[in-house]
Amino acid sequence: MEVNSVESLPSDGPVWAIVLAAGSGRRYGVHPKQYELLGGERVLDRALGTCRAAADHVIVVLAPGDEAIGEQLVADGAADAFVIGGVERSDSVRCALANVDEEAAVIVVHDAARPLASAALHEAVVAAVHAGAEAAIPAIAVIDTIKRVEVDSDGTPVVAATLDRRELVAVQTPQAFRAEVLHRAHAHATDATDDAALVEANGGRVVIVAGEVTNIKITGPEDLAVAAVLLASLG
Ligand code: CTP
Ligand code: MG
């Protein structure tokens, strides 16, 4: 498919959401973070619940061995289907993409590790694609000063450069894509930490929408504690 043809394709058809929960959570520790409790509900269930409200169809991607959890989620109506993911995050996305109906117009990819993303944020990225964007991702300003570091000849990490923070943003999920744009980005791809990077590598135009500072990613155990405080403050 030619890149130029993208603008002419309709994007107001069904919205499919892919919720990624097939990671092993190495940085989190012993318990799989997607099944930790946050405000009395599993992290994954929170992420799924928000996707459910914003999308017409939801596919959840789980790790090998979590099939019984997937069957229960489908039985409960929390997801329409589950698939078993792959080794890297992008592999897991591709496992789900293979099960997305060709009628899908917009595909949203969301990390289960971001359980506090709001319904409004899901709606905002989908609305941007409906309005004509090939891809729309949430981002927030970078608060810290960011430096590039090199290891010098005696093994000491030293600053190589200070980056201009005004040019930088920190990117989140949910990320929304015209379906054919996401399929094409993954067609020959290997791995990237987000799907937008694959679209960028393919020459795609990725639009930024305002992210949420409360939409943190649970990476280490301290993040779950922060998320619990944020959840309480969000009411
Ligand atoms: N993920 C996935 N399949 C993988 C790797 C990651 O579905 N093979 C999912 C995770 O479950 C998570 C999201 O992608 O919801 C973001 O990944 P990350 O925060 O890195 O989680 P993990 O890969 O599980 O953690 P770690 O990198 O610490 O092992
Ligand atoms: Mg990971």
- Please tell me the residue having the least CA distance from ligand 1 atom 10: 23
Find out whether 20 and 79 touch, Cβ atoms under 8 Å.
Answer: no
Separation of CA 5 and ligand 2 centre (Å): 34
Ligand 1 atom at minimum distance from 91 CA? 8
The residue-averaged pLDDT of 22-51 equals: 96
d(CA 24, CA 227): 20
164 is a domain residue: no
52 is a domain residue = yes
Residue 169 lies in a domain: no
CATH number at residue 44: 3.90.550.10
Which range marks the domain in which residue 69 is found? 15-135+174-234
**Rounded Cα distance, 42 and 116, in Å:** 12
Q: Which amino acid is at 162?
A: T
- Max CA separation in the chain (angstroms): 58
Rounded to whole angstroms, the Cα distance separating 15 from 107 reads 6
Residue 151 maps to a domain: no
Q: In the chain, how many domains are there?
A: 1
For residue 133, how far is the Cα from the chain centroid?
A: 17
Q: Is residue 162 part of a domain?
A: no
How large is the average pLDDT for residues 92-105? 97
Question: From ligand 2's centre to the CA of 209, what distance in Å?
Answer: 24
CB of residue 115 inside a 6 A radius of ligand 1: no
Helix/strand number for the chain, H first, E second: 7, 12
Segment (H or E) for 110: strand 106-111
CA distance 212 to 196: 18
Question: Is residue 130 domain-resident?
Answer: yes
pLDDT digits (tens, 9 = 90+) for 70-85: 999 999 999 999 999 9
**How much of the chain exceeds pLDDT 90, in percent?**
90
What are 191-216's pLDDT values in tens digits?
898 999 999 999 999 999 999 999 99
pLDDT band at 11 (very low <50, low <70, confident <90, very high): low
Note whether residue 54 is domain-resident.
Answer: yes
pTM check: above 0.85: yes
Q: How far is the CA of 19 from the centre of ligand 1 (A)?
A: 11
Rg, C-alpha atoms of the chain = 18
